[in-house]
Structure formats: C-alpha cells, structure tokens
Amino acid sequence: MAEERRKYVQRRTPKPKNLKGTIKRVMSYVLSFRLQIVLVVFLILLSVVASVASAYFLKPLINDYITPLIGVKDPDYSGLLGQIGLMAAIYIIGAFSSFIYSRIMVSISTGVLCKIRMDLFAHLQKLPIRYYDTNSHGDIMSRFTNDTDTLRQMMSMTLPQLIQGIASIIFTAVVMLSLNVELSLVVFGMMIISMIAIVLVSKRSQRYFKEVQQAMGDLNGYGEEMIEGQRVIKVFNREEIIKEGFSEINARQANAGFQSQAATTIMMPMMANLSYITYALCAVLGASMTINNRLDIGTIASFLEYSRTFTRPITQISNQFNYIMSALAGAERVFDLLDTPEEVDEGNVTLVNANIDEEGNITEASKRTGKWAWKIPNKDGSFEYRELKGDVRFEHVTFGYEEKKIVLNDISLYAEPGQKIAFVGSTGAGKTTITNLINRFYDVPDGKIRYDGININRIKKNDLRRSLGMVLQDTNLFTGTVMDNIRFGNLEATDEECIKAAKLANADSFIRKLPHGYDTMLEGNGSNLSQGQRQLLSIARAAVADPPVLILDEATSSIDTRTEHLIEQGMDGLMHGRTVFVIAHRLSTVRNSNAIMVLEHGVIIERGTHESLIEEHGKYYQLYTGALELE
Ligand SMILES: Nc1ncnc2c1ncn2[C@@H]1O[C@H](COP(=O)(O)OP(=O)(O)O)[C@@H](O)[C@H]1O
Ligand SMILES: [Mg+2]
C-alpha cells in the first residue's frame, strides 16, 4: 500500500541553496524601480534620523529645560514647551515619511511581482513540450502563485525594515559613541552576543525553508491531479488511498514548516531578554557614573533610550527571518523555472504567403493568397523561394524519448503532395510519436525528416507548425465561446469562415442545438460537451486554419461512423491537393488512403494501399477481416 502511494508522490531532492545568487537576482528586479528605490531610501533615512534625533533631544530637554526648573518658583515653561514642540515636529516628520515609503514599497513589490509573473508566463510559452511532459503541472502553478507571493510579502515588509534597521543601527551607534564611549562599548558587546545567538539559531532552520516551498509545490501538484482525476477516483473507490497519499505530503509540508519555524520561535524571547539585560547594565553603569559626577542625567536618559532602540532592528530582522528564508527559497524555485532552457530554434527557413505565376516563379505576397512558399536564406544573404507542397519524408528515423528506450526504429516513409497517409497499429506502437516529430515537439538528429526537401530542423518552429493543421489526440478547449474556440485555429477568420469550418467538420448541427449556439460558453476544457463533440470542435479548429498539411491523430475515435464518414467527405474536399496524415483505429477510415503503414513496436511492418495489403494476407489483412483486433 505504502509503495503504491509513494508512486503518486513525486519527490525531488532539494537543490543546494544559492542564497547569494538568488538575492542578487531579486535585487535586479527591484532595481528596475530605481527612482522609487532612491526615494524610499531617502525617506527611510529621514525617518531614522527623526527617530534618532527625538531621543537625542531628551538630553537638552532634561539638562537645559527641566533640571534648571526644579525647585524654581514660578518656572518659565515656554522654553520647555518649545523644545517639546520641536520634538513633536521631528516625530511627525518621521512618522509621515515612514508612511510614504511603506506605500511606495507596496507599489514596488506589486510591480516586481507583476513583472516576475509575466516573465514566468512568457518563459512557459517558450519551454519545450518535454518540460510539460516531465513536470507536475500543480508544481509549476505553485511557482506562479505561492512562491511569487512569499516573495512579494518579503519585499513589501522585510526589505524596508532591513534598510531601516541597518540605517538606524549606524546612526544610533554614532550618536551613542558621541554621548558616552564606555556605555556604548557595553551595548555593542551585547549586540555581538545577540548576533552570534541569531546565527546559531538560524543555521538549524535554514535547510528546511526550501523544503517547505517544495512540499507546497508537491501538495499543489497532488491536489490538482486528484481534482482532475475525481471521476476515476470515484469509479474505482480510491478516495481513502488518495487521502492517505495527500496526508503524507501534507504531513511532510507541515513537518518542514514546523522545523523551519520551531528554531526561530526561541528568537523573540531570547532577544527580548538580551535587550533587558543590556538596559539594566547600562542603567546600573550609568547611574554609578552619574553618582561619581562623570555623567549628567540628560545623557543617561538619552542613552537608555538608545540602548533600548539599538537592538530593536536586530530583533525585528530576526523575526522576519522566516519570511526572508521562505521568500528566498520561493524565489529560487521561480528562478529555477526561469532558468529552464527554452525550446531551441535554430531554424531560419520561414513560411510566407506567395504568388506563383504560370511559369512557376514565386514572389512573396503580403496577404493570404492560399499559396505558401518556404523562404530559404542562402549563405550570401539572398533568399530562395520554394513552393510549399506538403512533401514529407522520413529517412531512417530512430527516436526515443529517453536515451535507452527506442520508440521508433528505422522509420522511412514518404508522403507526396496531396497524398493521404494512414498509420494503423496497436496503442503504444509509436503513431503519436511520429506526429510529435513532424511538428518538432521533439527533435530528431539532423537531416532525417525532410519537408519539401528541406531538413525540418532548418525550418523555424512557428512556421513549421503554421504549415501543419493538427488535431491532437487529446482534445483541449479553452474557456470562451464555441466561436472563440474554433477561431483559435486562425485568429483572422471571420464568423462565416468559422461556421464554414464547423460545417466541414460536421460540428455545425450540434453547435446549433447548444443553448446559445456559437456563443455558448465552454468552461473547464469543454466539460459540458461530449468527447465526440469536443473532437468535432478541434477538427473545425484545424480546418479553419486551412493548412497545407493536416495531421489527424485519432481525431474521430469518439465519433460515430456515420458522422465520421460525413467529416471525411468534407475534409476530402478541403484537403484536395494537400497532404494528410491520419491515425485511426477504425480501418474503414483509412481505406481510401494512398498508403497505409502498419506500425508495431516502432517498426513499420507492412505498407501499401488497402488493396495491396489485403492481398498480402499479413497483419493488416488479419486486422481487417477481424482475425486480429487492435489492442
Ligand atoms: N512524452 C513521452 N515520454 C516518454 N515516453 C513516451 C512519451 N510519449 C509516449 N511515450 C512512449 O512512446 C511509445 C509510443 O507512444 P505513442 O507514440 O503515443 O503511441 P501510439 O501509437 O499509441 O500513439 C509508448 O511506449 C509510450 O510509452
Ligand atoms: Mg497515440
């Protein structure tokens, strides 16, 4: 049981921390708000000076305005009031500037967060399919939400406190030294002791922070998977075991959370006590110095105030330590994602709209002409145009997703323009993999797949994919209307064109029966539609793109035979003169193909037309006559 559960729980060993690098990168984001930062630092300094000064004024207040009045008849309070007024003014300036800089800091931190999120999302669009195939989607989401948010919290709260703390320590130290050197040394000594204590305590908790964020990611990943899989879970009555799986990661998260914070809970009382001790030491020492007439009362009052405030920033920062560490751990996960290498695209052959005259001369057109050409750069900087015909050739392609496991073995095939090529074969034979290679979701070594005679590794991925209309095996619909979803195939398509595509895909009749027809909202991957209807929509989406090459990966697997037949007729009209790859389970679908490839364990074991294959009396024959069934 435990073994089984463990399978659900993805674990990655936390990477070693790179605190310095992470801090640097966070700062590089913050520094894009240079002007505001300068203002913030200025305001912080102002508020620190104000608070240091207000304590400093205790000395003249006592020495010059209070002590002289002691025992005097009819004392003149005007000087005293003036002094108090001055202190109040300084205090107000301090409070006001601290209010302003906190606000600016909030705007900086939300700005930074917005930018990081945008960078993340933009980067996600550039990652290869392999990344999505190998990472939990919930964990990716967690980097977006949870990790960026801890970072925002840290920036809006901790960063200003840090600056303020450091400034305040420096100012206070200078003023204290000017008041009395011996007492200052006592306070400094105590500060060093508290710093050592902080370092000792925090060392222990440090390593848990990354684990907290990681566990949070796993938790999200698990949660997402189980929410998506609710139907399956219910069908198999696996609620309990799923709960156990969750409880395991949840406990891991809680434990890491506890460990990371447990050590730091001692910080507060420890720092408070050290601060009292410092205060008491100063009071005793100061009092004895005053008695010996080496110090005046005003200085002592000021100094005691400083000894109290001096360690305050350290206490505060050490309290924020949790936030800082988890924010940095989160930031590191964000940057890990940002550092995942992008999909490389060294292709320089592009696809352009073309005009082709009777002699076959090709010129580039700025608008859609219904004809396309490959624009191939020559070494000397000139361009050569070649008509996009849809000739696709595989030459001894061997491929595996992982190095050791070969999925396609020495595949050679060709599809001439206008041909319909079909792949049949058992599940897992490698049919979808072939399509993954044509559109370069995964790359094969050089020179093995040619498209109109061009090595597909030379074709820019976007242009390559633009030339291919794909109906993927897994249908994906987006939140939006039915019309929006069809138009996803060609953003410039008019409503009429979308409807025409829907008719072609035979989706029109069911769409019209929906509550709002083409304006019906689809949500949650079109969960209000049947699987077959979703497939019809994705076929319409591919059709509206009007692609030169069409690839249908079990696109009609959930559609009844009659409808399938109608789609086929519609598509045959559309695809006249273009190349179609079709993968289908039903052999009736592939009968009229120019060539049928029978695939088994990544090897083409038979190929030919329907008739020739029947004649051959091989596997296809057996499948067709029902002697064998596709698993
Ligand atoms: N993203 C992937 N990573 C690793 N292996 C994969 C991946 N996708 C498919 N495979 C493996 O490749 C083989 C062929 O899969 P596929 O091409 O999807 O088969 P099908 O013929 O059913 O479309 C299977 O053994 C499958 O396990
Ligand atoms: Mg498949």
Separation of 428 CA from ligand 2 center, angstroms? 7
β-strand 383-387 against 372-377: which pairing, if any? antiparallel
Give per-residue pLDDT as tens, 421-444.
999 988 899 999 999 999 999 988
For ligand 1, pick from 130, 133, 423, 433 the residue to mutate: most ligand atoms within 8 Å of CB. Answer: 433
Separation of 553 CA from ligand 2 center, angstroms? 7
Separation of 623 CA from ligand 1 center, angstroms? 22
The residues near 11 (Cβ < 8 Å, ≥ 6 apart) are 218
Q: Any idea of the CA torsion for 347, 349, 353, 355, to the nearest 10 degrees?
A: -170
Shortest-distance Cα residue to atom 12 of ligand 1: 407
Q: How far is CA 625 from CA 426, 562, 618, 621, 622, in A?
A: 16, 21, 11, 6, 5
- Please tell me the pTM assigned to this model: 0.78
Residue 9 pLDDT grade (very low, low, confident, very high; cuts 50, 70, 90): very low
Which atom from ligand 1 is nearest to the alpha carbon of 599?
21
Nearest to 147 by CA among 107, 120, 179, 178: 120
Fold match, 25-32+105-339 / 392-625: no
Q: Which CATH architecture has domain 25-32+105-339?
A: Up-down Bundle (1.20)
Separation of 101 CA from ligand 2 center, angstroms? 58
Give per-residue pLDDT as tens, 58-107.
888 888 888 888 888 888 888 888 888 988 899 899 999 989 998 998 89
Percent of the chain with pLDDT over 70: 96
The residues near 79 (Cβ < 8 Å, ≥ 6 apart) are 64, 65
Residue 12 pLDDT grade (very low, low, confident, very high; cuts 50, 70, 90): very low
Task: State how far the Cα of 573 lies from the Cα of 581, in Å rounded to an integer.
Answer: 15
Shortest-distance Cα residue to atom 1 of ligand 1: 133
Which atom from ligand 1 is nearest to the alpha carbon of 436?
17
Separation of 204 CA from ligand 2 center, angstroms? 50
Give per-residue pLDDT as tens, 430-481.
999 999 999 999 988 755 899 999 999 999 999 999 899 889 888 899 999 9
The residues near 439 (Cβ < 8 Å, ≥ 6 apart) are 464, 465, 468, 470, 551
Residue 20: what pLDDT? 83
Which atom from ligand 1 is nearest to the alpha carbon of 434?
17
Shortest-distance Cα residue to atom 26 of ligand 1: 428
CATH code: domain 392-625 is 3.40.50.300
Nearest ligand to residue 400 Cα = 1
Q: Is 407 in the pocket of ligand 1 (CB under 6 A)?
A: yes
Q: Is 133 in the pocket of ligand 1 (CB under 6 A)?
A: yes
User: Is residue 4 predicted with pLDDT exceeding 60?
Assistant: no
Which atom from ligand 1 is nearest to the alpha carbon of 427?
22
Give per-residue pLDDT as tens, 359-376.
888 888 888 787 889 999
Residue 35 pLDDT grade (very low, low, confident, very high; cuts 50, 70, 90): very high
The DSSP code sequence of 393-408 is: EEEEEEE-SSSS--SE
Mean pLDDT, residues 370-388: 90
Give per-residue pLDDT as tens, 199-238.
887 777 767 877 888 888 889 889 888 988 898 899 888 8
For the chain, which residues make up each domain, given as ranges? 25-32+105-339, 350-387, 392-625
